[in-house]
C-alpha cells in the first residue's frame, strides 16, 4: 500500500468548532459542478436521483455555500457566522511558514478520510495522562496556532517562573519594533578637541579579529578592521597621534540586575549589558567567557590595533560622551538582528537577551535601564492584548525567578505571531530550536520521532522552592495542524534531569505519528 507525506499546514476552522459546517459544505460543493454533475445525475437509477435531490435540498436548508480556497481566503467572508466571543480574522499561513518541519507519513487509504483526524478529545486525554505523572506543579495550554481555539489546558492562567521562556517574548518584541534587518553600529569619531572616541552601538557579537567566529558565525567586521579604517582616515587628515576614549552611554551603565545576586553562580551565566564589549561568547558546549569583554578592555584592544597601523595612542582611556559635533572616522555594522535573535534563542544566551531588552526600551522611547526594559515589555504585551492579570516581568532573559508569566500568555503570544501576517515574526518562530538543535539536543532523547516535528524555547531554573522546567513553542500534529503550546513546571523536588524528562514526555504527546 502506498504512503503519502502530509505537508505542514494550518487548519482553517470557524469560531464555532474545529469541524465546521463550512468544511462539510466544501466537500458537498466538490461532489459535482456544472455539466458533469447534470450528466452524472441523468445516468443514475431513479433511487440515486432522489438521493441527490435530497442532499441538495439539505444543503439549501442548512445554508451551505462553497468556501473560498485556502489560497484566496485572506479575510473572512462577509457572510461568515460570528459568535458571542468573536476571534480576530484568521490570517492563513501557507506551508512556507515552516517548511523544515517534518510531518507524519500516512497510508494513502486514510488520506482525506475522517479516520485521519485525531480528535481533540483524544489528544487532551493523552496530555492529561502524561501531565498527571509530572513532578511538582505543572501548568500548560495547547491551542490551535491559527484559530486560537484551546485544545487542552491545565491551570493555564497560573503565573509561574518561566525561566528562559522569557527570551521568546523578548525576541518577538524587539523584532516587531526594529525588524529583522536592523543592525547595530560601532563607530570611531573625531571630536572637536582632537580626541578620538570609540562609540559602542550595542553589538552583542562584536569581535576583535576578523576570523573570530561566535556561535559558528563570521562577523561582517571586527575591531581590527575598524581600527585600520580609522587609522587610514587619520592619516588622510595628517593626524598621527590621538588620545582615545570610549563611549558606552547608548544603553546606559553596565550594571547587573540586583535580583541576579539571588541566583547562585549568576556571574557564570550572564554579563551586565553594555553597548560596548568584545569577544563575548557564552556557548561552546559549556558555559565559558572570553577574558576580554568590557568597554575599557575593548578600547585597549582597539588602541593596540591603531598602534599597529602607525597611530600613536597613550595607554590611558576614559569613559566619555562623544561630542554631538564629532566627525565620523569609520564605522561597522553588526550582523542583522535576525541572526542575533536566532543565536539567542538557539543557545539561550542570557547576555544577548538582556542587551536586546535595552534596545527594545530605546525603540519605544524608554530609558535603557532595568526598570525601563521591564516596563517596555509589559507595555508591549498590553498593546497587543497579550498581558494577563498577575504577569510580572523583572528581566528580559528569565534569569530572575521572581518573574511570573502564565502559559496562557506564551500560547497567546505564539498564536498572535502566527496570525500577525508579519513574515519577520514567523522568522523569529522558525529561529526556535527544533528537537535536535541548540538547547533541545538534550531533550526528547528517547523520542527520535519528535526531532524536526516541533520547535520550542526551553527554560530551566532551580532555587530553594525546587526545580523549574519550561517549554513553549509549536508542533505539527499528525494531521498537519500546527499547535501552539506552553508547559511550565515549578516547585519540582525531582532532580533537574528528571524534571526536564517529565516535561519532555508531556510535550512529546503533541507530534506523535499515531495512525
Rounded CA separation 256/279 (Å): 19
Which residue, chain included where needed, has cell 534531569?
Answer: 497
Burial of 288 (0-12, 13-18, 19+ CB in 10 A): exposed
CA nearest to 154, candidates 177, 174, 134: 134
CB 435 within 8 A of CB 452: yes
Which residue, chain included where needed, has cell 518577538?
Answer: 172
CB 113 within 8 A of CB 7: no
Rounded CA separation 58/54 (Å): 6
In the sheet that holds 150-154, the strands lie side by side as 150-154, 137-144, 482-492, 466-476, 454-463
Burial of 217 (0-12, 13-18, 19+ CB in 10 A): middle
CA nearest to 488, candidates 155, 263, 121, 146: 155
3-state class (DSSP) for residue 130: helix
Question: Tens of pLDDT along the chain (515 residues)?
Answer: 444 444 344 332 222 333 333 333 333 333 233 333 333 333 344 444 344 334 333 343 333 333 322 222 233 322 223 333 333 333 334 445 676 677 666 556 555 545 445 578 889 999 999 999 999 999 999 999 999 999 999 999 999 999 999 999 999 999 999 999 999 999 999 999 999 999 999 999 999 988 777 888 888 889 999 999 999 999 999 999 999 999 999 998 888 999 999 998 888 888 889 999 888 764 344 444 444 578 999 999 999 999 999 999 999 999 999 999 999 999 999 999 999 999 999 999 999 999 999 999 999 999 999 999 999 999 999 999 999 999 999 999 999 999 999 999 999 999 999 999 999 999 999 999 998 889 999 899 887 778 788 999 999 998 878 999 999 999 988 777 899 999 999 999 999 999 999 999 999 999 877 64
Give the count of beta carbons closer than 10 Å to the beta carbon of residue 164. Answer: 24
Q: How large is the angle between the packed helices 350-363 and 370-383, nearest 10 degrees?
A: 70
Rounded CA separation 496/339 (Å): 30
Which residue, chain included where needed, has cell 564629532?
Answer: 326
Per-residue cell: 70:
485556502
CA 287 to the chain's CA centroid: 22
CB 203 within 8 A of CB 334: yes
Strands (E) in 53-208, as ranges, are 105-107, 137-144, 150-154, 185-190, 196-199
Amino acid at each position: 500500500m502506498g504512503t503519502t507525506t502530509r505537508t505542514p499546514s494550518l487548519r482553517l476552522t470557524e469560531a464555532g468548532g474545529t469541524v465546521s459546517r463550512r468544511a462539510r459544505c466544501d466537500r458537498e460543493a466538490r461532489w459535482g459542478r456544472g455539466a458533469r454533475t447534470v450528466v452524472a445525475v441523468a445516468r443514475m437509477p431513479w433511487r440515486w436521483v432522489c438521493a441527490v435531490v435530497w442532499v441538495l435540498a439539505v444543503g439549501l436548508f442548512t445554508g451551505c455555500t462553497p468556501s473560498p480556497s485556502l489560497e484566496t481566503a485572506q479575510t473572512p467572508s462577509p457572510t461568515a457566522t460570528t459568535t458571542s466571543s468573536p476571534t480576530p480574522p484568521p490570517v492563513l499561513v501557507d506551508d512556507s511558514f515552516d517548511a523544515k518541519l517534518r510531518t507524519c507519513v500516512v497510508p494513502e487509504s486514510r488520506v482525506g478520510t475522517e479516520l485521519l483526524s485525531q480528535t481533540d478529545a483524544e489528544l487532551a486525554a493523552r496530555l492529561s495522562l502524561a501531565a498527571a505523572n509530572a513532578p511538582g506543579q505543572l501548568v500548560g495550554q495547547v491551542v490551535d496556532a491559527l484559530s486560537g481555539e484551546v485544545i487542552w489546558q491545565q491551570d493555564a492562567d497560573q503565573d509561574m517562573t518561566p525561566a528562559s521562556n522569557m527570551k521568546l517574548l523578548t525576541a518577538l518584541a524587539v523584532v516587531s519594533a526594529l525588524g529583522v534587518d536592523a543592525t547595530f553600529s560601532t563607530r570611531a569619531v573625531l571630536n572637536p578637541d582632537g580626541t578620538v572616541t570609540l562609540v559602542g552601538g550595542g553589538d552583542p557579537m562584536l569581535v576583535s579579529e576578523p576570523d573570530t567566529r561566535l556561535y559558528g558565525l563570521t562577523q561582517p567586521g571586527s575591531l581590527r578592521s575598524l581600527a585600520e579604517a580609522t587609522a587610514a582616515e587619520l592619516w588622510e587628515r595628517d593626524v598621527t597621534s590621538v588620545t582615545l576614549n570610549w563611549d558606552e552611554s547608548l544603553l546606559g551603565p553596565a550594571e547587573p540586575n540586583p535580583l541576579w545576586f539571588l541566583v547562585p553562580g549568576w556571574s557564570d551565566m550572564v554579563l551586565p549589558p553594555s553597548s560596548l564589549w568584545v569577544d563575548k561568547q557564552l556557548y561552546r558546549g559549556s558555559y565559558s567567557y572570553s577574558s576580554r569583554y568590557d568597554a575599557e578592555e575593548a578600547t585597549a584592544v582597539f588602541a593596540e590595533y591603531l598602534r599597529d597601523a602607525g597611530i600613536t595612542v597613550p595607554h590611558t582611556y576614559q569613559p566619555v560622551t562623544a561630542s554631538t559635533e564629532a566627525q565620523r572616522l569609520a564605522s561597522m555594522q553588526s550582523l542583522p538582528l535576525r541572526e542575533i535573535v536566532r543565536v539567542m534563542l538557539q543557545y539561550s544566551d542570557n547576555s544577548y537577551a538582556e542587551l536586546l531588552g535595552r534596545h527594545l526600551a530605546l525603540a519605544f522611547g524608554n530609558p535603557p535601564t532595568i526598570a525601563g526594559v521591564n516596563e517596555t515589555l509589559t507595555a508591549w504585551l498590553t498593546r497587543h492584548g497579550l498581558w494577563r492579570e498577575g504577569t510580572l516581568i523583572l528581566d528580559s532573559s528569565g534569569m530572575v525567578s521572581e518573574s511570573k508569566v502564565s502559559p496562557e500568555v506564551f500560547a497567546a503570544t505564539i498564536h498572535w505571531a502566527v496570525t500577525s501576517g508579519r513574515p519577520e515574526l514567523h522568522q523569529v518562530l522558525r529561529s526556535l530550536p527544533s528537537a535536535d538543535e541548540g538547547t533541545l539536543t538534550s531533550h526528547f532523547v528517547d523520542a527520535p520521532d519528535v526531532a524536526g516535528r516541533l520547535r520550542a524555547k526551553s527554560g530551566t531554573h532551580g532555587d530553594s522552592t525546587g526545580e523549574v522546567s519550561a517549554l513553549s513553542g509549536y508542533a505539527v500534529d499528525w494531521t498537519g495542524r500546527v499547535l501552539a503550546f506552553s508547559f511550565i513546571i515549578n516547585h519540582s523536588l525531582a532532580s533537574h534531569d528528571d524534571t526536564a524528562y517529565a516535561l519532555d514526555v508531556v510535550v512529546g504527546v503533541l507530534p506523535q505519528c499515531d495512525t
